Amino acid sequence: MPRTLDPELRRALAARIRYYNEMGIYDFYRRETSGEVAEAAVSDAVAVPIQPESREEMSPRKAAAVAVEENIFEVLAPKPEQGVSDPAKGLKIIREDLGDCTRCPLHKQGRKQIVFGVGNPATDLMFVGEGPGADEDQQGEPFVGRAGQLLNNMIKAMGITREQVYIANIVKCRPPGNRTPEREECETCSPFLMRQIAVIKPKVVVALGAVAAKTLLAMNASMAQLRGRFYDFKPAGVRSNDPNWEGCKLAVTYHPAFLLRDPRQKGEAWKDLQMVMKELGLKAPKSTT
Ligand code: URA
């Protein structure tokens, strides 16, 4: 019977995988778990609930170690898009793998449809928001409501168009009442976004708002601490099919919905975007007014 990952375990695994990825290690090979190894392994692993019927013969420590190992391989299993060089095809494979997703509670909390992402699969620039709102849920496309109109204007101010970039969200289903997605929802959904980033291989990802920034960077900090610099970013837990892709830069700026509420911060957001433009060699269009 397929088992879902315990959220604490998923967090611990994500951190462990990121650590290995940062050292350049992406390939993991399975080894039989013997009693002693299992006992040792569990000492720095996270305890997970064990199904008594399937684990009753084992000591709790050994059963936990076996569960950790099984789950590591579930997370690290090769992704079906690996080996596909066309990013559009890669995205299609990820969309098919996502299916009619029921992996987190959002699937039964009123979503109309999954909002996968939109734009140019061969872009240098990606924007990542928080999650679909009512308009996005209705239309199946990210950032099409009021915040989307402002995002379009921000993109235009950079001298490019919405069609030239790729836009996605941390969670692909609308949280009811536009509430902030729960951490568990973000962690369940974001591996698909990580895979999207790994096939698109942008030069820069812009995280729109704290939820996107904290999830992508796996870091808990305020917007004031997160903005104003680039981070070296590699999508966690996946390897790009291009061995020469070393990851990309990530910048954090304010979410357009926040800027609608507090337009005085638009100047600060523009500074963030100018930093991105410089990195990408973009020039703002000459003002027509
Ligand atoms: N806010 C987001 O974070 N994403 C959208 O797609 C729309 C609004």
Split at pLDDT 50, 70, 90, the class of 253 is very high
Q: Which of 113, 169, 216, 254 to mutate to test the pocket of ligand 1 (most atoms within 8 A of CB)?
A: 169
* 165 within domain boundaries: yes
Distances (CA, A) of 17 to 14, 20, 168, 227: 5, 5, 23, 25
Which residues make beta-bridge pairs with 250? 205, 231
Read off the pLDDT of each residue in 222-244 and give the average, rounded to a whole number: 93
* 200 within domain boundaries: yes
* 285 within domain boundaries: no
Alpha-carbon gap, residue 130 to 258, rounded angstroms = 12
CA 102 – ligand 1 centroid, Å: 20
Q: Which of 130, 135, 180 to mutate to test the pocket of ligand 1 (most atoms within 8 A of CB)?
A: 130
Domain closes at, from 18, 44, 76: 76
Question: Does 142 lie in the same domain as 55?
Answer: no
Ligand 1, closest atom to CA 115?
A: 6
Question: Does 192 lie in the same domain as 67?
Answer: no
Question: Does 163 lie in the same domain as 64?
Answer: no
Domain closes at, from 38, 53, 76: 76
Question: Does 69 lie in the same domain as 100?
Answer: no
The whole domain housing 122 covers: 80-280
* 52 within domain boundaries: yes
Read off the pLDDT of each residue in 130-144 and give the average, rounded to a whole number: 98
Question: Does 186 lie in the same domain as 132?
Answer: yes
Q: Which of 128, 135, 143, 155 to mutate to test the pocket of ligand 1 (most atoms within 8 A of CB)?
A: 143
Question: Does 57 lie in the same domain as 111?
Answer: no
Residue 212 CB neighbours (<10 A): 27
Question: Does 102 lie in the same domain as 37?
Answer: no
Percent of the chain residues topping a pLDDT of 70: 73
* 236 within domain boundaries: yes
CA 207 – ligand 1 centroid, Å: 12
pTM of the complete model beyond 0.75: yes
Of 88 and 48, more confident: 88
* 1 within domain boundaries: no
Of 142, 138, 172, 140, the residue nearest 155 (C-alpha): 142
Domain count, the chain: 2
Read off the pLDDT of each residue in 196-223 and give the average, rounded to a whole number: 97
Residue 14 CB neighbours (<10 A): 19
Token pair for 111: 């979503």
Lowest mean pLDDT among 72-81, 212-221, 273-282: 72-81
Ligand 1, closest atom to CA 256?
A: 1
pLDDT tens figures, 89-127: 999 999 999 999 999 999 999 999 999 999 999 999 999
Per the prediction, the chain carries an average pLDDT of 85
Question: Does 226 lie in the same domain as 97?
Answer: yes
Question: Does 126 lie in the same domain as 60?
Answer: no
Domain closes at, from 76, 107, 129: 76
Ligand 1, closest atom to CA 209?
A: 3
Question: Does 100 lie in the same domain as 67?
Answer: no
Question: Does 235 lie in the same domain as 211?
Answer: yes
* 2 within domain boundaries: no
Percent of the chain residues topping a pLDDT of 90: 68
Measured from CB, residues less than 6 Å from any atom of ligand 1 are: 129-133, 136, 142-143, 145, 147-148, 169, 257
* 286 within domain boundaries: no
Question: Is the predicted pLDDT of residue 45 greater than 50, yes or no?
Answer: no
3-state secondary structure the chain: CCCCCCHHHHHHHHHHHHHHHHCCCCCCCCCCCCHHHHHHHHCCCCCCCCCHHHHCCCCHHHHHHHHHHHHHHHHHCCCCCCCCCCHHHHHHHHHHHHCCCCCCHHHHCCCCCCCCCEECCCCCEEEEECCCCHHHHHHCCCCCCHHHHHHHHHHHHCCCCHHHCEEEECCCCCCHHHCCCCHHHHHHHHHHHHHHHHHHCCCEEEEECHHHHHHHHCCCCCHHHHCCCEEEECCCCCCCCCCCCCCEEEEEECCHHHHHHCHHHHHHHHHHHHHHHHHHCCCCCCCCC
According to the model, what pLDDT value does residue 214 have? 97
CA 63 – ligand 1 centroid, Å: 41
Read off the pLDDT of each residue in 33-59 and give the average, rounded to a whole number: 46
Question: Is the predicted pLDDT of residue 70 greater than 70, yes or no?
Answer: no
Of 39 and 79, more confident: 79
Question: Does 98 lie in the same domain as 39?
Answer: no
